[in-house]
């Protein structure tokens, strides 16, 4: 019986490792066309903090974005976070969504998708992390865990 259990545990571990590698490869492929320098961080930054900035592009209609929203909320409580809601309705619609989901991070409404198109973003969610010198250091398309975001922000802060 234990030999079967070991076999299933081993197969499950291989599956998890394979899926993680596959998901990261897809994320890397999707993020190759991004144009993070097209976003003018100076236009939305109020302070002159020397801290990294997380730019998160999402949509209210995106299921993965809904799953990841709590992660972005937790990160926004400790780091500089700016988000862009793409084709998600009016400012009032977005405010309603934020209130319903208990979210209070900074949101820019990209109602017609112009800004996301300028950034070459065609998959949601997309996350870009900038060094304190406003150069992009990391980008990812798809779901990212709170721990993953936290570690990347700490790493970007050390640069």
pLDDT in tens, 77-125: 999 999 999 999 999 999 999 999 999 999 999 999 998 888 888 889 9
Six-digit token pair at 45?
Answer: 């930054």
> For the chain, what is the domain count?
1
Structural domain including 86 reads: 33-158
52: CB partners within 8 A, 6+ apart: 79, 80, 129, 130, 131, 132, 137, 153, 156, 157, 159
Q: Rounded CA gap, 144 and 65, in Å?
A: 10
- Is 89 inside any structural domain? yes
- Is 14 inside any structural domain? no
Residue 50: give its domain's CATH number: 3.40.30.10
- Is 77 inside any structural domain? yes
Render pLDDT for 37-61 as a digit per residue (tens, 0 to 9).
545 555 555 455 678 889 999 999 9
- Is 8 inside any structural domain? no
Residue 154 sits at φ, ψ, to 5 deg, of -65, -45
40: CB partners within 8 A, 6+ apart: none
- Is 49 inside any structural domain? yes
- Mean pLDDT confidence for 28-32: 52
- Is 85 inside any structural domain? yes
- Is 25 inside any structural domain? no
- Is 26 inside any structural domain? no
């Amino acid at each position: 019986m234990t030999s079967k259990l070991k076999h299933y545990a081993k197969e499950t571990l291989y599956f998890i490792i394979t899926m993680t590698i596959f998901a990261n490869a897809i994320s890397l492929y999707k993020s190759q066309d991004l144009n993070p320098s097209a976003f003018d961080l100076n236009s939305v930054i109020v302070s002159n903090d020397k801290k990294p900035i997380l730019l998160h592009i999402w949509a209210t209609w995106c299921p993965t974005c809904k799953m990841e929203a709590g992660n972005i909320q937790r990160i926004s409580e400790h780091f500089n976070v700016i988000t862009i809601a793409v084709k998600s309705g009016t400012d009032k619609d977005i405010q309603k969504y934020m209130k319903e989901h208990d979210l209070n991070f900074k949101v820019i409404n990209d109602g017609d998708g112009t800004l996301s198109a300028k950034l070459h973003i065609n998959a949601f969610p997309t996350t870009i992390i900038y060094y304190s010198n406003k150069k992009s250091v990391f980008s990812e398309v798809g779901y990212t865990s709170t721990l993953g975001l936290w570690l990347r922000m700490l790493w970007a802060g050390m640069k």
